[in-house]
Structure 1
Amino acid sequence: MIAYTATAAYAGFQEDRLGRIAPGMLADIVLLDRDLLAIDPADLLRTRVLRTFVDGQERHTDPAA
C-alpha cells in the first residue's frame, strides 16, 4: 500500500504535502458504511458514502449518518 501513497508522493517530489494521512497533508478520502472487501458483492449497490474529503477539506457528509 505504501507504493501507492508515500512512495508515489516521494517520486513526484510532493512528500511534503501528499502521501500520508496527517495534519497539514492533502488527502482524498471516502468513508463508507461497510468494508467493501468483507461483504457479498450483491451488497455493493447498498453501500452508502458517509463522508468525503477532497484535498483535506470535507466536501460531503451524509445527513442521515
Structure 2
Amino acid sequence: MVLSRSFKDTVKARAARDPAFRAALLGEAVEAFAAGDADSGKALIRDYINATVGFDQLSESCGN
C-alpha cells in the first residue's frame, strides 16, 4: 500500500493545526526519557522540532 503523504509531512501538518498534539508529542518525549528510553525520546524530540520550528531556525535562535 502506497501512502499518499510522508509521515513527516503528516506530523507537521497535524502539529501546525493542533496545539494539543504538539503538547502530547513533547510530553511523550519527556516520558520516554524519564523511563530511560533515550532512543525513543530523541526520536520524538526530533519529530517535535521538525514539526514546529525546524532545526535550521532552532540553530539560528541558539546563535549557531
| TM-score clears 0.5 | no
Select the structure that is richer in helix.
2
Largest Rg, 1 or 2: 1
TM-score normalised over the length of structure 1: 0.22
Whose RCO is larger (CA < 8 A, sep 6+)? 2
TM-score normalised over the length of structure 2: 0.22
Select the structure that is richer in strand.
1
